[in-house]
Chains A and B, each alone.
Chain A
Amino acid sequence: MGGEPSIIPSEEPAPPPRTPGRPRTFACPNCGGPVTLRAVGQSVTATCSQCSSLIDVADENLSIIQTAQSAMQGAEIPIGARARLKEVEWEVVGFMRRCDGPGDFQWTEYLLFNPYHGYRFLAEEYGHWTLVKMLNRDVPGAGDQGWIDANGRSYQFFGKGFARTTYVAGEFFWRASTSDVTAVTDYIAPPYRLMVEKNDEEIIVSEGEYIDASDVAAAFNVHLGTPSSAGVSQVNPHKPSLTIIVLAVIAATMLQFTSLAISANALVNRQTYNLTPADKDKTLSSESFRLEREGNVEIDTYSSLNNDWLELDMALVNIETNQSYSVFRALEHYNGTDSDGAWEEGGNSDTVLLPPVPPGTYKLLIDPDAGLFSKSPSLSASTQPVTIAIRYDVPIWSNYLIAMALLLTVPAISMIRRMMFEKSRWEKGGVAE
C-alpha cells in the first residue's frame, strides 16, 4: 500500500471500540451523598440531591462551589424524568429558578439532555411552557433593534431586562450559580420567541416554541398546574390572557371617571386684552388668581384673526414665591382664494396644558407680539382683542386613551397569535380540538 490518501476499506480492522458511555456517580464532597452525573464530560457544575451543595465537576477535584443553598426546592418535573418532545427523547438533568431584575416575575428553566441531540431548555412561567433551543447562528442587531429576522422568522421586540438565577439543582454545562445575572432581550413571533442573552464572555441567541401544558404533562407523565393568566407569557396563544386585559380596561375606566369626578376643572381667570400698536414691547398682566391645591393648568387663547398672526410669550408666576412657568404660543389665521378655490390656514384658538404647579396666588404675564404692531398706526388704528382663559386641575383624557389603545392592542395581537397557533396546529397534523 502506498502513502497516498485512501478511504478505509470495509475489511479494515476497526480500532478498539470505546467503552460504553454511562452516567457517573460519585460521593458528594460535602455530605457524602450519591451524586449522579448524566451528561458526563459536558457538565461543569452539579448539585447534590441530598444537601443541595453546588459542586464543580469540570475536573476530577470535585470542589464545592457553594455548600447547601437555602431551602431545598422541588420542581414539577423531577430530575431524571424522560419525555419525548418534538420527536426526540429528552432527560431532565437540571432545573433553575430565575426571576427578573426586581424579582416580580419568576420562572423555571429545566435543562434537557440527549447525548445525540445535545441540550434544550424547557421554560415554565405561570403554567405556560416553551421548548428552547440555542440557535448557533449570528443574529445581527439582536438585542439592539426593534425587530429582527432570525431562523426564517420576523421577530418583534417584546421586552428587555435582566434574568437572575435564584436557585439551581442538577447538572449544567456551564458554571451555573445563584449569582448569575444576564441581560436578556425578548422578541416574539408567536408561537415562537427569541431570547438574546449577553454577558462579557458570550452572546447566546435561543429560540423557543410554545408547547401546550397538557402535552408536557402527558410526555413526562406528571401532573402540572393549569396555566395561569398572571404574568407575561409572550407566546401564550390562549384566551385567559384576555381576562387580564378586560380587568385592566375596567380598572383604567373607573380610574378615569374617578379622576373626572374629583377634578376641580375650575375656571380661575378669564380676561380679554385689547391689543393696540401701543402695546408693542409692553408686558401685560392678568389679575391675580388663587390655585387652592396642586393641579395642572390649562391656558385657552382666543383671538379673531383675519389674515393676521399673534405671538404670546407668557409666564405663569407665583407671586408669593416668584416661581415662574413660561409658555410660548402662536396663533395665525389666513384665508384666501386661488385657482383651487378658497383656502384657509391656521385658526383663532389654541389650548395648552401646563404640568401640575403647587398651590398659591398666581398671575399670568403676557409679552405679546402681533402683525398689528408692525403696521403703521395710521393704516390701522384698530385694536386686536385677545381672550385668555385659565383653568386649573383639568382632567386629562390622553393618558386614558393611550392606555386604552395599548390595552386593546393586546387582544388584537392575541387574536393574531391565536390564528398562528391554529395554523401551526393544523400544519402539525390537523388534530381537531
Chain B
Amino acid sequence: MRKFDCPSCGAELTFRSAQSAYAVCAYCQSMVVRTDVDVRSIGVMAALPDDMSPLQLGSGGYFEGQPFTLIGRLKIGWRDGLWNEWHLLMADGRRGWIGEAQGSFSISFELEGALPQDVTQTFEYCLPLLTGGEGADEVRPGFTVELGSTTLRAVDIKLATCLGSEGELPFTAPKGRRTVAIDCIGKEGEFATLDHDGRVVRAYVGRYVEWDDFRFSNLRPLEGW
C-alpha cells in the first residue's frame, strides 16, 4: 500500500495495490495516474449516478474462502440501463471484478496469456456492433464459447459505455470509453465476460455468486432496509 497526496486537492490518496495505475481521489474526484514515484492528476471524474447498491469502496467479502476488499468501481451504461463493475483485491494479491447487474452478482478474473480461439472468433463476429461495420444487425447471442475446459453460452451482447469510475483501477477508464461486452454463462453458473474497445481485448472468467455466499461486510447503509 502506498500513500500519496492528491495533486489536485492535497487529500491523502492511497494505492492499496501495487498494480493500481489509476485512482480517483475520494474527495475531489480527480483521476490520478501513478508514475514510478509520483502521481499526477489527469482530470476530474464526475460524480457517479446514484443507485441502491449496498456495496461501497472498502466493503469486504469472501470468495472461495479468501477475503477480498472492493477498491474501485466502474459505472457502465448501455442503451437500456446501468451496472456496476467493482474492482476487488484478494488477500493473495489477485485482482478481480464483481459485476453487479439486475440484482445478480458475478465474480471474474482476467484471463492471462493468449486468448482462446473462440474469444477471437467471437470478437470477429461481434465487433461490427462497435465499429458500425457490416454485419452489425445480424449479431445475436446464443452461440457457444469454449473457454479452457468449460463451454459457455453467449447470452447477452451489449454496447457499453463507461460513465465514470471511483477508487483504484488497473487501467484508465475514461468516461465515454465504449466497448462491446459479451456475457456468457455455463451450466453450473460459470460466468465470463468478453470485452473489446476496438484495440484491446480482455476476457474475464468466473462465476455467479449468491449474495449470502459473499459474506459481505462494511456495507453501505440503505434507507429502509
Choose the segment among B14-22, B113-121, B172-180, B196-204 that binds chain A (4+ C-beta atoms closer than 8 Å).
B14-22
Interface string of B55-81 (1 = CB under 8 A from A): 011100000000101000000010011
Quick check: A21 and B223 within 8 Å, CB to CB?
yes
Q: Is A343's beta carbon under 8 Å from chain B?
A: no
The interface residues of chain B lying within 8 Å CB-to-CB of A38 are 52
Tell me if A42 and B104 are in contact (CB < 8 A): no
Question: Closest Cβ of chain B: how far from A253's Cβ, in Å?
Answer: 47
A136, B1: Cβ atoms closer than 8 Å: no
Q: Does A203 contact B (CB under 8 A)?
A: yes
Q: Are A1 and B50 in contact (CB under 8 A)?
A: no
- Residue contact B82 to A58, C-beta cutoff 8 Å: yes
Contact at B189–A203, with CB atoms within 8 Å? no
* Beta-carbon contacts under 8 Å, A83-120 to B: 89, 113-119
Chain A interface residue count, CB cutoff 8 Å, equals 51
A203 and B1: CB pair below 8 A? no
**A interface SS class:** loop
Q: How many A-B residue pairs have CB under 8 A?
A: 156
Asked, given contacts A20-B223, A113-B103, A118-B211, whether A137 binds B185 with beta carbons under 8 Å apart, the answer is yes
Residues of the B chain whose Cβ atoms lie less than 8 Å from the Cβ of A115: 52-54, 222, 225
**Binding stretch for chain B, among A6-14, A47-55, A239-247, A278-286:** A6-14
Does A23 lie at the interface of the complex (its beta carbon under 8 Å from any beta carbon of B)?
A: yes
What are the residues of chain B within 8 A of A137 when measuring CB–CB?
Answer: 185-189, 208
- The total of chain B residues at the interface (CB under 8 A) is 56
The interface bits of chain A over 54-71 (1 if a CB of B lies within 8 angstroms of the residue's CB, else 0) are 000011100000000000
Say if the beta carbon of B152 comes within 8 Å of chain A: yes
Q: Are B153 and A41 in contact (CB under 8 A)?
A: no
The CA-CA distance from A273 to B16 in the complex, in Å, is 102
Rounded to whole angstroms, the CA-CA distance of A175 and B57 in the bound complex is 29
Asked whether any CB of chain A lies closer than 8 Å to the CB of B171, the reply is no
Chain A 173-194 interface mask (CB, 8 Å, partner B; 1/0): 1110000000000000000000
Contact pick for B50, options A21, A116, A204, CB 8 Å: A21
Most chain B CB atoms below 10 A, which of A17, A134, A136:
A136
Bound: A23/B223 CA distance, A: 8
Q: Which residues of B contact A13 (CB under 8 A)?
A: 12, 14
Q: B80's closest neighbor in chain A, by CB?
A: A175
A164 to chain B, nearest CB (A): 19
What does the 1/0 interface line of B163-193 toward A look like (CB < 8 Å)? 0000100000000000000000111110100
Q: For chain A residues 371-402, which have a beta carbon within 8 Å of chain B?
A: none
* Chain B 74-128 residues near chain A, CB threshold 8 A: 77, 80-82, 89, 91, 93, 102-104, 106
Task: Give A3's nearest chain B residue, CB to CB.
Answer: B18
Q: Which residue of B lies closest to A136 (CB)?
A: B208
Q: What residues on B are CB-neighbors of A428 within 8 Å?
A: none
Contacts of B89 in A (CB 8 A): 5, 7-8
Judging by beta carbons under 8 Å apart, are B51 and A1 in contact? no
- Chain A residues contacting B153 (CB-CB under 8 Å) are 138, 140, 203
A175 to B102 CA separation, bound complex (whole angstroms): 12
B155 within 8 A of A: yes
**Chain A nearest CB: distance from B111 CB in Å?**
19
Residues of B within 8 A of A16 (CB): 26-27
Given A1-B1, A15-B167, A136-B208, does the pair A202, B51 have CB atoms closer than 8 Å?
A: no
Interface check B157, CB cutoff 8 A: yes
Which chain A residues border B218 with CB–CB below 8 Å? Answer: 14
Chain A residues closer than 8 Å to B224, beta-carbon distance: 22-23
CB-CB under 8 A from B223, the residues of chain A are 20-23
Q: Report yes or no: B18 in contact with A4, Cβ–Cβ below 8 A.
A: yes
Interface residue from B49, B82, B140, B221 paired with A20 (Cβ < 8 Å): B221
- Say yes or no: B52 contacts A39, CB within 8 Å: yes
Assess the A118–B104 pair: CB atoms within 8 A.
yes
Say yes or no: A41 contacts B16, CB within 8 Å.
no
Q: Is the CB of B185 within 8 A of A18?
A: no
**Neighbouring B residues of A6 by C-beta, 8 Å:** 1, 16-18, 93
Inter-subunit contact B82/A41 (CB<8 Å): yes
* Residue from A1, A23, A117 in contact with B103 in the complex, judged by beta carbons closer than 8 Å: A117
- What are the nearest 3 A-B pairs in CB distance? A118-B103, A41-B51, A5-B93
Show 17 residue pairs from A and B whose CB-CB distance is below 8 angstroms, ordered by the A residue.
A5-B89, A7-B89, A13-B12, A17-B220, A18-B220, A38-B52, A42-B103, A44-B81, A58-B82, A59-B77, A114-B225, A115-B52, A115-B54, A136-B189, A174-B80, A201-B156, A202-B141
A interface residue numbers (CB < 8 A to B): 1-8, 12-18, 20-24, 38-42, 44, 58-60, 89, 113-119, 134, 136-140, 173-175, 200-204
Q: A14-B218, A21-B54, A22-B222 known; 16 other A-B pairs, CB under 8 Å?
A: A2-B18, A4-B18, A4-B93, A22-B223, A40-B50, A40-B51, A41-B49, A41-B51, A44-B80, A58-B77, A89-B225, A117-B211, A134-B102, A138-B152, A201-B157, A203-B153
